[in-house]
Amino acid sequence: MQWSELIDNPYLKDLPFKIELNRYGKIEMTPASNKHGRLQSLIGALLERKLKKGEALVECSIQTTEGVKVADVAWCSKAFIKQYDYQTPYSHAPELCIEIVSPSNSKEEMTNKVQLYLQAGAEEVWIIWENGRVDYYDNTGKLAQSRHGISLKPIVN
């Protein structure tokens, strides 16, 4: 299945799931929760306040080597938007990709997503764990903090 077929499919509209495609074109779904949605909104708003030269996107679809993955929140610079507009899915990852871990996500899955987003061009990937811990990554590995100087502690704790 192609991403365009998936987003245009009337049977898949209004499902309470985050939908992604794996490398075989098969649908993977993760149940959505209101707490998860609220965190996405708060993080997106914080990014737009702090990183003025760009835009935050929620549920940002990105083509990776393992299929289309959907970052819970992404931040795109104005230059990124100028180059890629709002193509769906993005053929190149935005500068910042953020995943909020759900109970159905495994540590292995999150580690894999970090690598996929970085391989697709993300400069940083943030993983927000259920206990409120935030891990930051770039192409050199795990970071002590984001190079963007943003703290999510007031939001996730």
Render pLDDT for 32-71 as a digit per residue (tens, 0 to 9): 788 889 999 999 999 999 998 999 999 999 999 999 999 9
Q: To the nearest whole percent, how much of the chain has pLDDT over 90? A: 68
Phi, psi of 97 (to 5 degrees): -120, 130
> To the nearest whole number, what is the mean pLDDT of the chain?
92
- Check residue 118 and give its pLDDT: 98
- Check residue 114 and give its pLDDT: 98
d(CA 29, CA 2): 15
How does residue 13 score in pLDDT terms, banded at 50, 70 and 90?
confident
Domains of the chain with bracketed CATH: 33-156 (3.90.1570.10)
pTM: 0.90
